Structure 1
Amino acid sequence: MKQIRVYHIDAFTQYPFEGNPAGLVPDASDLTLTQMQQIANELNLPESAFLLPPTNPEADFRVRYFTPKEEINFCGHATVGAAWLLATEYGWAEKADQVVFETNVGLIPVHWDKSENKINMVTMTQISPKVKEIELDQSEIAHLLGIPPDQLDDQVPIKLANTGNWHLIVPVKTHQAIDAAKPNWDELALLNKKHNISTTHLFTFDAKPGFNLYTRDFAPAIGILEDPVTGAANGAMAGYLVLEGILSKDETHRLTIGQGDAIGRPGTLFVNIIPRGSDIVIKVGGFAHVTLEGILRLPV
């Protein structure tokens, strides 16, 4: 019997049962891709991450991400969860200030914020952001998301944005409208598949006190109806905000983003947007909580 250590980590929160749950296998070196997909399906969490020996000498681990349905190129909350686990349970923070993950989209360094031998937060640097146009009518988007058309913020463009995966970024006027959204799941999944979109990401500046933005994320095309608190989509959205001129390209921005309230899994993301010459650096940080640890038994 092959025994595989598996963790369930709640990311972008300090508490169990909040934030975004991720599965994590810290040693997947003996697993096939089929077995990784089967384990992700069995765990049935939004995403699961599997750590492997790196192929790039600049990386500490290679990581592969799976939803219950398919492999995806990048997952922010599972990356945060993996770095948190390595720091707090495996002693990595005692010998380094960061860990570097080799992913399908490139190298993702994750820095540990430490004080008095305690991990305060982990922060990942995502790949350079980019945006592109998508031909969609606002009434069509409103129908797909199940919100009134007049609640879409027509002062801000609907675009595709990417810091690892493509996300459909949809501006909404109020957090109440975001919470009330009732997506047409099958139609939204078809749209996302047609345009190679991982998730549809709603955002508003009408956030609760202490937060700059409030967001909600739907991903039926990749096997997740709603992703509770999304590191990848919020990173892509941050890049979109600057590339579209909604936030200044000439200054550093520090954003506190809330997500997950609508489904009872509140989480908090801390996002830094840093101009660097012609590039923009997106850093997404947060906490995590190791909620479950167990042994998965597989036949040899």
Structure 2
Amino acid sequence: MTVPRDRSFVQVDVFSTRPFQGNPVAVVMDGTDVTDDEMQRVAQWTNLSETTFVLPATTPEADYRLRIFTPQGELPFAGHPTLGSARAWLACGGVPRHTDRVVQECGAGLVTVRRGTDMLSFAAPPRIREGALDDAYLHRIIKAFGIQAEDVLAHQWVDNGPGWAVLHLPTADDVLALDPDLSLIPEAMVGAIGAYPEGAEHDFELRTFAPGCGVPEDPACGSMNASVGQWLTATGAAPSAYRVSQGTRVGRAATIEVNAEADGTVWVSGTATVLVRGTITL
């Protein structure tokens, strides 16, 4: 049995320039010899959307390995934990192999994180499922959202690991008006996006609901923004660069920037600010 010891612990606020208005992630900086069950218990205890554990990389291309846990299970990839953990690793003295980027190893493979002046950006991983939703699942989501079929402009699987699906609604106001009955879709990982009027501070409002992971509404979701960005920019439903507002209905003020490059790579960018430093005994 491993004797508990103090390990560095960091909490990072991601996707907001205003303190305590983004999406927090808890980062255990040394996950060595922590068991799967212990990791899961810590994630349940922090009760955040995600808690991560930093481990030595198993491949020379990566700077570190990351394991990502929701209150109910492990994810192969998640967006705001990727940016938050990269910020925590750098703030705790991590030295990347390349000065302009960090390479994270996780269940989804290698994820590149660019280092900007004020923001970090991750390259969206490939989707493992895409295409239109089947009629039965779409009907369940529409019923849970309390809307009509004619309110849906488009719908899509946008799964890059967590299991995301999304509905495209006509306006940001339509998205903000949703008051979903998640008991009708308890296993779902689903979002809704709608456009703001031209000239607004943000181009879209996005909301993500994750009852399947024990998170009724995520304040700011990098993984869904990544895969939705791949979908919308590829179909021409969004420009190659746009800004998303998220968290409004849960009292947060997150801003996510999405940029699709000429080679098709979609980058998701946002701030990541260390707000808590200390130790955790594990």
TM-score (norm 1): 0.85
Matches within 5 A, 1:50-61: 50-61=53-64
Equivalent residue number for residue 144 of structure 1: 144
Which residue in the other structure is 1:196 paired with?
A: none
Aligned to 2:184: 187
- 1: distance between equivalents of 2:19 and 2:150? 33
Q: CA deviation at 1:87?
A: 2.8
- One-letter code of the match for 1:221? G
Structure 2 counterparts to residues 33-72 of structure 1, below 5 A: 33-72=36-75
Equivalent pair of 2:15/2:23 in contact (CA under 8 Å): yes
In the alignment, structure 1 residue 211 sits paired with structure 2 residue 202: yes
Does structure 1 residue 281 correspond to structure 2 residue 265?
A: yes
Native 8 Å contact 1:255 1:270 kept in 2: yes
Q: Is the 8 A contact 2:140 2:185 kept in 1?
A: no
- Code of the residue aligned with 1:275 in structure 2: it is A
Structure 1 residues 60-114: Cα deviation after superposition (integer angstroms, max 9, x where no partner):
1111100011111111001111112223342537972211011111100111113
Give deviations 1:160-187, integer Å, cap 9, x for gaps. 0133443111111222222221222222
> Which amino acid in 2 is paired with 1:28?
G
Equivalences for 1:1-300 in 2 at 5 Å? 1-90=4-93, 92=95, 96-114=99-117, 120-129=118-127, 131-136=130-135, 140-146=140-146, 148-149=147-148, 152-154=151-153, 157-190=154-187, 192=188, 199-206=189-196, 209-247=200-238, 253-276=240-263, 280-298=264-282
AA of the residue aligned to 2:201: G
Distance 1:242 1:213 in 2: 13
Partner Cα separation in structure 1 for residue 94 and residue 74 of structure 2: 28
SS in 1 for 2:164: strand
Mapped partners of 2:132, 2:171: distance in 1: 24
Moved more, 234-243 or 101-110: 234-243
Unpaired segments ≥5 residues, structure 1: 115-119, 193-198
Aligned length in residues: 276
Deviation track 1:120-179 (CA, whole Å, cap 9, x = no partner) reads: 111111223462232136654322123x3277233xx21101334431111112222222
Q: CA deviation at 1:48?
A: 0.9
C-alpha RMSD of matched pairs (Å): 2.2
SS, match of residue 83 in structure 1: helix
Letter in 2 for 1:210: E
Residues 48 and 266 (structure 1), Cα distance of their counterparts in 2 relative to 1, 3 Å cut: same
Match of 2:148, as an amino acid?
P
- TM-score, normalised to structure 2's length? 0.90
Please give the alpha-carbon distance, in whole angstroms, between the structure 2 residues aligned to 1:143 and 1:292. Answer: 40
Percent of paired sites with the same residue: 28
2:261 and 2:48 map into 1 onto residues whose CA distance is: 32
